[in-house]
Amino acid sequence: MPDLPVCSAKMQDILSVPAQFSIAPPGSLSVAALLLLDLRMVLEIDTNFIFKFSKTSPMHQVPMDFASRSILPFQTASFLHDCASGALQDGNQSVIHPSFPGDLLPLWVLSYWVSMSYALENQCDWHTLHNWVLNRLDVVPAGGAELEIIDKVLDVLESLPWDAPLKGFSAETNLRTTGLRPLLASCPIDSRVLDTLIASVVYRMRASEDGDLWSVSIKPLTFTDILRLGEERWKSHKTDKASVTFVH
C-alpha cells in the first residue's frame, strides 16, 4: 500500500494551480478593491451539465481561452474537487467540461474552478450588499443622523477584507468577514454571528460586579439547530447543561 503522506503530497502537486493561472484575489484584499476587479469569468448556471473524469492523459497545454471560459458554481466545483482523490486512485488523469468535450483538462483545473468560483460568487454578494447600503442614501432624510451612520458604514465596509478570519469572540466561532454580510442586507443572519453576539454578552456579564452573573457559561452551538430541538429537550433546558442557555 502506498505511503499516505506520499499520496497526499502527490495529490497536492497534481491539484496545484500553475502560477500563471493563480489569479484568484486573496482574502485580505479590501471589499472596495474586490468590487473593482475584472475577473473575466462567468459562472455556469446550466445545472444539466455533466462533468466527467477521464483515464486519458490531459492536454499538454490548456486552451488559450481557458481563463475566459465559464466555470462551475462553487458548490459543484467543491464537490468535484472532493472527488479528485478517488478519481485519481481509479486511474483517471483528466476532467472533461461539457462545454468543450474535446479538451481533456488536467485535474488542477478543479482547484482553479474552486478558487475562482468562490471569488466570483463572493464578489457578486459583496456588490449586492454594497448597493443595498448605497440605496439607503436615497431613503434617509438629507442632513440627518442616519446619513452620517451610512457614511461610516461605507467607510468600514469598503476597507474591510472581503474574506478574512475575525479575531476576538469571532475567532471562537470561526466567523469570517464574509459572515458579516447579512448584518447589512435583507437576509437571515448566520448562526455564527449569533454565537459571537452571545459570547460577547456573556463576557460582559462575567466582567460585571454582580456575582450572580459570573456563573453564566456558553457552549458552542448552531443556533438554528437548537431551535429545532424536540419538546422534551426544551422542557429540560434549565437542568440539562447540554441544552441552550438563555440570557435575559
Cα 164 to Cα 170: distance, rounded to the nearest angstrom:
11
Block means of pLDDT (10 residues each) for the chain, length 248 residues? 55 84 88 90 73 90 80 88 88 87 90 92 93 86 82 92 86 83 75 76 75 63 60 61 42
* Cell numbers describing residue 220: 458552542
Question: DSSP class of residue 147?
Answer: H
Handedness of CA 223, 229, 234, 240 (dihedral sign): negative
Question: DSSP class of residue 43?
Answer: E
Cα 122 to Cα 33: distance, rounded to the nearest angstrom:
13
Handedness of CA 167, 172, 174, 179 (dihedral sign): negative
Q: How far is CA 179 from CA 68, 90, 164, in A?
A: 29, 38, 10
Task: Give the residue from 218, 225, 224, 223 showing the smallest Cα distance to 242.
Answer: 218
Q: Which residues contact 57 (CB under 8 A, 6 or more apart)?
A: 93, 94, 104
